[in-house]
């Protein structure tokens, strides 16, 4: 008969379990595998014992019932999640405690993150990086633009009013011009009154 089904997570029936190992222990350990949607289908016999196993889930066995009316048997398989805590296993590169003690005492303690950051941001490191590392696309564009602007501006006449320091001089000259006009007007009024007398 054709044995067909889908494998689900027993804790959440809407979650399928893909790539489950399926072994028919009653028939030469016939091996099968569910697909990425948890679906499986293969030929089996009545009263065959089928074992379902997957990493992270408990193993379950299913026995196909006898005297089925149809030539097919369909079943939903529910695997229970299983967490296995393995014991801690420590690996040491030293054969004896004496070797460990010797290596530990001669060990150079690494700098902390702050010291590493200070070293990497020192002026000497930054200058060395500027000399050795190539420019990226953005830096190349900015460098070319600065070079172009400097070249254009070095041969052009700039407007003196664009300089904020020239504004002070302009205002001072305007104020002095107003005073000199006022003095000229006073002088001319004095001269005209003298002539009329």
**Total domain count, the chain:** 2
Pick from 43-52, 73-82, 152-161, 172-181: least confident: 152-161
CB 27 within 8 A of CB 64: no
First and final CA of the chain: distance in angstroms? 143
Residue 11 lies in a domain: yes
CATH of residue 15's domain is: 2.60.40.1120
- Rounded mean pLDDT of 24-38? 89
Q: What is the pTM of this model?
A: 0.44
Do 73 and 117 fall into the same domain? no
By C-alpha distance, which of 98, 86, 91, 4 is closest to 43? 4
Residue 57 lies in a domain: yes
How high is the pLDDT of residue 24? 92
For the chain, give the mean pLDDT: 82
How high is the pLDDT of residue 120? 83
Residue 106 lies in a domain: no
Residue 182 lies in a domain: no
Residue 128 lies in a domain: yes
Do 75 and 121 fall into the same domain? no
Do 115 and 71 fall into the same domain? no
Residue 188 lies in a domain: no
- Structure tokens given for 142: 């900015």
Do 6 and 75 fall into the same domain? yes
Do 72 and 117 fall into the same domain? no
Do 115 and 75 fall into the same domain? no
Q: What is the 3-state secondary structure (H, E, C) of the chain?
A: CEEEEEEEECCEEEEECCCCEEEECCCCCEEEECCCCCEEEEECCCCCEEEEECCCECCEEEECCCCCCCCEEEEEEEECECCCCCCCCCCCCCCCHHHHHHHHHCCCCCCCHHHHHHHHCCHHHHHHHHHHCCCCHHHHHHHHHHHHHHHHHHCCCCCHHHCHHHHHHHHHHHHHHHHHHHHHHHHHHHHHHHHHC
Residue 44 lies in a domain: yes
End-of-domain residue from the set 25, 57, 79: 79
125 has a pLDDT exceeding 70? yes
Residue 93 lies in a domain: no
Domain that holds residue 139: 111-177
């Amino acid at each position: 008969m054709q044995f067909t089904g889908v494998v689900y997570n027993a804790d959440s029936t809407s979650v399928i379990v893909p790539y489950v190992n399926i072994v028919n222990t009653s028939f030469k350990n016939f091996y099968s595998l569910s697909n990425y949607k948890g679906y499986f289908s293969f030929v089996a016999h009545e009263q065959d014992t089928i074992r379902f196993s997957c990493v992270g889930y408990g193993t379950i066995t299913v026995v196909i019932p006898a005297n089925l009316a149809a030539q097919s048997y369909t079943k939903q398989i529910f695997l229970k999640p299983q967490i296995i805590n393995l014991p801690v296993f420590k690996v040491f590169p030293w054969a004896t405690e004496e070797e460990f003690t010797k290596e530990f005492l001669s060990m150079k303690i690494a700098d902390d993150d702050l010291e590493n950051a200070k070293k990497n941001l020192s002026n000497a490191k930054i200058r060395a990086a500027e000399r050795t590392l190539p420019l990226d696309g953005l830096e190349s564009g900015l460098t070319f633009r600065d070079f172009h602007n400097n070249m254009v501006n070095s041969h052009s006449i700039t407007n003196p009013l664009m300089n904020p320091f020239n504004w002070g001089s302009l205002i001072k000259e305007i104020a002095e011009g107003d005073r000199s006009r006022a003095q000229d007007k006073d002088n001319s009024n004095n001269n005209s009154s003298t002539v009329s007398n």
